[in-house]
């Protein structure tokens, strides 16, 4: 029984060349091949289809009715095949596909990340960036399970899995956030002891956020315990509560990008090493085998830790 698998793309190219040239030798020259193999391919194609494509009258070649009918389909099939090959090659170069990215809420506030993402999308319009908001600690397990190709996250203090690699993308520090009318608003640096007895708005410790662990460690190292009056699931929610006068807070300085008129940011008067934080690119090593993900990882790595990647502090 004859079927579509009886016809190859090579045969279709030969058929189209002969149909357009109506001359076997000229068609063979056009295809950079000898005439006998060309004739053989046409004959094999005709046998596979069970229909004559050409009528040969001496040196003259004409398309049969079936040949004329099939010519448009043959051209369309070859065009689809060329498009398919082009897509495959572009995918191999990382120009098509999807990249699964987990990122913390502050990641896109860093110029290094925001500008790199924007430039990558401009240069690779065929790539879809699948973004998922994450918390750092559970994200490590998700990376290990290959739910993400990469994450932009804070990794203090959990170790990075052995099958993953990380690089610091940008740095900032945690800062004290006070209501705008707070009595200490004019001080350039505020010690934790000065606000220890006041109400504190904390990030929820149930969310697995690395920054929450750093803040808890900061209070512990200072030998004090905050008076937690409110909890919130993310930084912007904490900012809103501080702006509403529900207490003070400690948050990463990157969140200064969210303009709240009713809060002030203050440097914490403590050993600066305790307030240092970083946004890290963490990726599974297997992601480097995927051209699309590897291309984005390379773009981010080239922008990592440039001098302009440090969030400037104010207040």
From CA 259, how far away is CA 278, in angstroms rounded? Answer: 21
- Identify which of 59, 80, 124 has the alpha carbon closest to the alpha carbon of residue 294: 124
pLDDT tens-digit readout, 106-151: 998 998 899 999 999 998 888 889 999 988 778 888 888 899 999 9
Looking only at the bridges linking them, the beta strands covering 97-103 and 199-203 are unpaired
Residue 23, number of CB atoms within 10 A of its CB? 15
From CA 289, how far away is CA 311, in angstroms rounded? Answer: 32
* Rg of the Cα atoms in the chain: 32
User: Cα 116 vs. chain centroid, distance in angstroms?
Assistant: 10
Query: What is the pLDDT at residue 56?
Result: 85
From CA 286, how far away is CA 222, in angstroms rounded? Answer: 41
What's the DSSP call for residue 161? P
Query: What is the pLDDT at residue 190?
Result: 96
Average pLDDT over residues 92-107: 83
Average pLDDT over residues 276-281: 92
The pLDDT of residue 180 is above 90: yes
Please give the share of the chain, as a percent, with pLDDT higher than 70.
90
Mean of the per-residue pLDDT values of the chain: 87
pLDDT tens-digit readout, 76-89: 988 888 877 776 67
Residue 46, number of CB atoms within 10 A of its CB? 18
Angle, helices 111-123/291-303, rounded to nearest 10 degrees: 140
Lowest-pLDDT choice from 8-17, 136-145, 166-175, 305-314: 305-314
Q: Which domains does the chain have, with CATH numbers?
A: 4-91 (1.10.10.10), 97-163+283-308 (3.40.190.10), 171-275 (3.40.190.290)
Average pLDDT over residues 149-165: 82
Give the pLDDT band (50/70/90) at residue 310. Answer: very low
Query: What is the pLDDT at residue 290?
Result: 87
Average pLDDT over residues 29-58: 90
Give the pLDDT band (50/70/90) at residue 313. Answer: very low
From CA 134, how far away is CA 307, in angstroms rounded? Answer: 26
Give the DSSP H/E element, type plus range, for residue 206. Answer: none
Query: What is the pLDDT at residue 306?
Result: 56
The pLDDT of residue 232 is above 50: yes
- What are all long-range contacts of 46-54, with beta carbons under 8 Å and residues at least 24 apart? 48/2, 48/6, 48/7, 48/11, 49/2, 49/6, 49/7, 50/2, 53/15, 53/19, 54/18, 54/19
Query: What is the pLDDT at residue 194?
Result: 96
Query: What is the pLDDT at residue 95?
Result: 67
From CA 236, how far away is CA 242, in angstroms rounded? Answer: 10
- Nearest-5° Cα angle at 41, 37 to 45: 170
Residue 22, number of CB atoms within 10 A of its CB? 13
From CA 149, how far away is CA 102, in angstroms rounded? Answer: 8
Residue 310, number of CB atoms within 10 A of its CB? 17
Q: Is 188 exposed, middle or buried (0-12, 13-18, 19+ CB in 10 A)?
A: exposed
- Identify which of 208, 206, 194 has the alpha carbon closest to the alpha carbon of residue 267: 194
More confident residue, 201 or 1: 201
Average pLDDT over residues 279-294: 91
Query: What is the pLDDT at residue 196?
Result: 95
Lowest-pLDDT choice from 55-59, 149-153, 157-161, 233-237: 157-161
Beta bridge partners of 248: 200
Looking only at the bridges linking them, the beta strands covering 199-203 and 227-232 are parallel
CA distances from 276 to 9, 127, 174, 226 (A): 61, 34, 7, 20
- Identify which of 2, 4, 25 has the alpha carbon closest to the alpha carbon of residue 70: 4
More confident residue, 205 or 223: 223
Q: Is the torsion defined by CA of 27, 29, 30, 35 positive or negative?
A: positive
Tokens of 105: 């809420």
Q: Phi, psi at residue 250, to the nearest 5°?
A: -125, 125
Query: What is the pLDDT at residue 200?
Result: 97
Query: What is the pLDDT at residue 158?
Result: 64
């Amino acid at each position: 029984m004859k079927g579509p698998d009886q016809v190859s793309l090579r045969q279709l190219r030969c058929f189209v060349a002969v149909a357009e040239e109506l001359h076997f030798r000229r068609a063979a020259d056009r295809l950079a091949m000898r005439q006998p193999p060309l004739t053989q391919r046409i004959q094999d194609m005709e046998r596979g289809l069970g229909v004559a494509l050409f009528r040969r009258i001496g040196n003259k070649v004409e398309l049969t009715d079936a040949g004329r009918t099939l010519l448009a389909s043959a051209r369309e099939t070859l065009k689809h095949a060329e498009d398919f090959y082009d897509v495959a090659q572009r995918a191999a170069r990382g120009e098509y596909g999807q990249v699964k990215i987990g990122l913390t809420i502050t990641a896109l506030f860093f110029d290094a990340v925001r500008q790199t993402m924007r430039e990558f999308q401009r240069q690779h319009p065929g790539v879809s960036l699948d973004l998922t908001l994450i918390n750092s600690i559970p994200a490590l397990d998700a990376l290990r399970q290959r739910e993400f190709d990469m994450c932009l996250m804070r990794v203090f203090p959990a170790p990075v899995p052995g099958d993953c690699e990380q690089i610091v993308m940008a740095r900032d520090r945690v800062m004290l956030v006070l209501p705008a009318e707070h009595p200490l608003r004019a001080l350039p640096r505020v010690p934790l002891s000065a606000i220890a007895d006041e109400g504190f708005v904390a990030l929820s410790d149930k969310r697995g956020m690395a920054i929450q662990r750093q803040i808890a460690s900061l209070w512990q190292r200072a030998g004090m315990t905050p008076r937690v009056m409110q909890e919130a699931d993310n930084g912007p929610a904490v900012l809103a509560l501080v702006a509403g006068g529900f207490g003070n807070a400690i948050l990463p300085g990157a969140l200064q990008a969210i303009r709240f008129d009713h809060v002030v940011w203050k440097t914490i008067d403590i050993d600066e090493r305790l307030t240092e934080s970083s946004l890290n690119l963490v990726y599974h090593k297997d992601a480097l085998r995927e051209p699309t993900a590897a291309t984005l990882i390379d773009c981010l790595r080239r922008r990592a830790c440039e001098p302009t990647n440090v969030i400037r502090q104010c207040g």
